[in-house]
Amino acid sequence: MISMTDWWKEAVVYQVYPMSFMDGNGDGTGDLRGITSKLDYLKSLGVDVIWLCPIYESPDVDNGYDVSDYKKISKKFGTMRDFDRLLSEVHRRGMKLIMDGVYNHTSSQHKWFIESRKSKRNRYRGYYIWRPPKGSGEPNNWAAFFGGSAWAYDKRTKEYYLHLFAAAQPDLNWDNSDVREEIYEIIGWWFKKGIDGMRFDAINLISKPPALPDAKATPGQRYANGERYFVNGPKAHRYLKEMNKKVLSRYDVMCVGEINRYGMSMKTLMDYVGFRRHELNMVFHDNSQLDYDESHARTSLERREKRLSWNLDLLKDRITMWQNATYNGGWDTLYLGNHDYPRIVSHFGDDGKYRVESAKMLATFLLTLRGTPYIYQGEELGMTNMKFGSISEFNDVFAINMYKEYARTYKKGEKTAIRMLNELSRDSVRTPMQWDGTRNAGFSKGRPWLRVNPNYKKINASDEVRDNDSVFNYYRKLIRLRKSHKVLVHGKYDIVLREHKQIYAYTRKYGKDLALVVLNFSRKTATFNPPKKLRGRPARLLISNYKSSGRAIEKARLMPYGARVYLLKE
């Protein structure tokens, strides 16, 4: 797990959200056969690894992140035979497949939980976190991420169980060694089947302090954020080390954790990904910390709102911090969005006039930092956030709860709430993949489970694959470039002109190679005056998102959202 040649370091990952990728049987929901039918497309893009969001049996309260059987494929996605075929077709094309491992919680329909709630003496009782009422209410005041209390009362045994997400997602009790053994067995079962790794959902929430202390609440606040207690909890690292030793280290796999960013510092990050730690290869750690200071947000809803005010200064600081943190003895993920967060071009770029340019600029950013890049489906086409018209069009439990909370707590009108949700909700980024300009964007012959973005006639794979100047073909070129220049994968990162208000520039150094990346994050042209140490060096332009880019780095003028990557000579 520690050499420079680990394959997962040089890999580019593509995230598939199976419900919305491709529908093979016309029922309106994406499925495994659909995915298999699009593998040539992914191969031609140049990605190495496909990450599948959950495809297990699930009642779909949280679209598959509530698993009721870890070894069964959800009927809506197909059968285990479809899965085996997908896996072998992926391998046949020289790609790899990793799956989502959702082990902080199960579905309330999982057989363990069905048993657990039957009686206090049931052998599965200790698989979950049960507590008697405190006074007449919940055992503590923790808020669930999706709104309301993190505790649900179960009449049958007159106790509460803990759920950090929806009530239908009871948290597993990792302090119980039987639970851990079951999980390791399940992970090993999938690895033996031949998958190439896992993405561990919400993995730094697995250890809760047994005393379950109340969180600090502001006056009048009923449920408060308990992250300081359950994020990176007391035994989180002990359990990850155990999992690594008993399962992960026995296979040639890549393991990426999803880490709630509360209290994330350089040290907390390295505790998960340091090569000597023997825990995980890399983690997603800043979903929403990337672009704003969230320290004053009280609820997950407020935190989301704050995203709207991201700024380049903070983005530079964060990225620089993580690049530096992991340079010595660690590795990082590179991503700007996923199935939980806004479309990157809508959020960090401009999804109107400069959609194509800004999508390419962001791609340049993503693919020229040190770490493993993750492309969320549709990002390679410059897909944008969906704009829904009313709450009835949303599907996500979190969006619907956010909407209720807006109405209750913030007294915002419906219009404002929908506007916010369009920018911030998870549904806005989960709309079906836009394959072509035909009905339903070629995603399904049936009625899609979530509305297709009406801009599919303009933004779709079929047109982009053919257009040499498309976002898609720019991604292809960039991926190829990254593969032919190791400096872009492994090189040391150094920020340049930190104070510039429009430009984000950095160098990457690896052996004798020095690359320079210059990105204009604004809608106005910008001039790049290189610092002394870079002046006068002959430069070779490797890629740019505008045609007429000059070759010299001195006084380089960057068009709106312009991006350039140079190789500098001594």
Among 287, 333, 401, 460, binds ligand ISL (CB under 6 A): 287
127 binds ligand ISL (CB under 6 A): no
Distance of alpha carbon 165 from alpha carbon 398, whole angstroms: 9
DSSP 40-104: HHHHHHT--EEEEPP-EE---TTTTSS-SEEEEE-GGG--HHHHHHHHHHHHHTT-EEEEEE--S
Among 130, 161, 165, 223, binds ligand ISL (CB under 6 A): 165
62 binds ligand ISL (CB under 6 A): yes
Q: Smaller CB distance to ligand ISL: residue 258 or 464?
A: 258
The answer to whether the beta carbons of residues 199 and 100 sit under 8 Å apart is yes
289 binds ligand ISL (CB under 6 A): no
Near ligand ISL in 463-522, by CB under 6 A: none
**For residue 496, what is the enclosing H or E element?**
strand 492-496
Min CB(233)–ligand ISL separation in Å: 13
* CA nearest neighbour of 101 among 38, 54, 49, 168: 54
Q: Which residues are catalytic?
A: 201, 258
Min CB(339)–ligand ISL separation in Å: 6
**For residue 504, what is the enclosing H or E element?**
strand 503-510
145 binds ligand ISL (CB under 6 A): yes
Strand partners, 481: none
Tracing tokens 């800004």 back to the chain, one arrives at 358
**For residue 160, what is the enclosing H or E element?**
strand 159-162
107 binds ligand ISL (CB under 6 A): no
Near ligand ISL in 326-345, by CB under 6 A: 339-340
SS3 356: helix
Q: Smaller CB distance to ligand ISL: residue 269 or 505?
A: 269
* CA nearest neighbour of 268 among 256, 286, 294: 286
Q: Smaller CB distance to ligand ISL: residue 265 or 328?
A: 265
Q: Smaller CB distance to ligand ISL: residue 260 or 440?
A: 260
171 binds ligand ISL (CB under 6 A): no
Min CB(53)–ligand ISL separation in Å: 8
Q: Which 8-state DSSP code applies to residue 137? A: B
82 binds ligand ISL (CB under 6 A): no
- 373 — phi, psi (to 5°)? -75, 145
∠ CA 356-357-362, rounded to 5°: 100
Q: Smaller CB distance to ligand ISL: residue 172 or 459?
A: 172
Q: Smaller CB distance to ligand ISL: residue 288 or 364?
A: 288
Among 260, 444, 522, 545, binds ligand ISL (CB under 6 A): 260
* CA nearest neighbour of 291 among 308, 310, 275, 269: 310
102 binds ligand ISL (CB under 6 A): yes
Q: Which residue is nearest to ligand ISL (CB)?
A: 65
- The binding site for ligand ISL (CB under 6 A) comprises 62, 65, 102, 145, 165, 201-202, 258, 260, 287, 300, 339-340
